[in-house]
Amino acid sequence: MTNQTIIDYVKAELSQDKTGHAWDHIERVVANCRQLLAKLNKVVDEEIVITAAYVHDCLDDKLFNNPEEKEVQLKHHLLNNGLSTDQVVTIIDIIKNQSFSANLTSRQALSLEGQVLQDADRLDALGAIGIARTFYYAGAKGNPLYNQSSVRTQLDKAAYRQAENSSINHFYEKLLKLENLMNTEVGKNEAHKRTVFMQEFLSNFYQEIGQAPSDNI
């Protein structure tokens, strides 16, 4: 059972978020963790998974401009609320290594606890909720829905991606890749269902805007 003080801390830390990482995201990730844990036939430290799930976005450099300070603050908070030094080290290690961005250059080694949290967080980037969060994030950042000039060379495509990140492009640079990166069997099955739904969404989207399917919009 995660300490109420830790829950209140997370709520306060994420209360200003307008990019899809607010308290509702945390609740869904915790719920996803519980579902994965219930179906996992392995010995896992559930307290570590659940506490890490609650605090996993509390030192993200996309959300905070002082992530090092946030890390120190979070460590103190966890230590002052009943967690041992070992548990705090384990939790901080998990949340620093589980994000998509932390795994871009090389895949980080994750404990089983970290793998469950990573799958749970990724599931919230997929399916109907994943679609909603993507457009919500793009709105907060002022990014376009899609790029209207679809005829581009490969070179232009790379340049475009760097310059301006459209919501549709985000499906190709991240969301559609997640299914193959899942750690657990149960997570992979759910990721597959959600990915099929996103593909259907994309296909309708292209049809409605009168453009050919492309990862270049």
Q: Which one-letter amino acid corresponds to residue 77?
A: H
Q: How far apart are CA 59 and CA 36, in angstroms?
A: 24
Q: Reduced to 3 states, what is the DSSP secondary structure of residue 164? A: coil
Task: Show contacts with ligand ADP in window 103-132 (CB under 6 A).
Answer: 121, 125, 130
The residue count for binding Ni ion (CB under 5 A) is 2
Q: How far apart are CA 101 and CA 61, in angstroms?
A: 10
Which distant-in-sequence residues (6+ apart) come within 8 Å of 191 by Cβ? Answer: 119, 122, 123, 126, 178, 179, 182
CB of 110 to ligand ADP, least distance (A): 13
Q: Which of 13, 14, 20, 36 binds ligand ADP (CB under 6 A)?
A: 20
Which token pair is 202? Answer: 């994309």
Closer residue to Ni ion, CB minimum distance, 57 or 113: 57
> Which region among 84-92, 164-172, 193-201, 205-213 touches ligand ADP (by CB under 6 A)?
164-172
Q: Which of 17, 113, 121, 190 binds Ni ion (CB under 5 A)?
A: 121
The residue count for binding ligand ADP (CB under 6 A) is 16
Which token pair is 186? Answer: 């149960």
- 17 touches Ni ion (CB under 5 A): no
In terms of Cα–Cα distance, which of 92, 49, 48 is closest to 67? 92
Cα dihedral 199→147→178→18 (10° resolution): -110
CB of 107 to Ni ion, least distance (A): 18
Task: Show contacts with ligand ADP in window 81-100 (CB under 6 A).
Answer: 99-100
Binding site for ligand ADP (CB under 6 A): 20, 62, 99-101, 121, 125, 130, 133-134, 137-138, 143, 165, 167, 170
Binding site for Ni ion (CB under 5 A): 57, 121
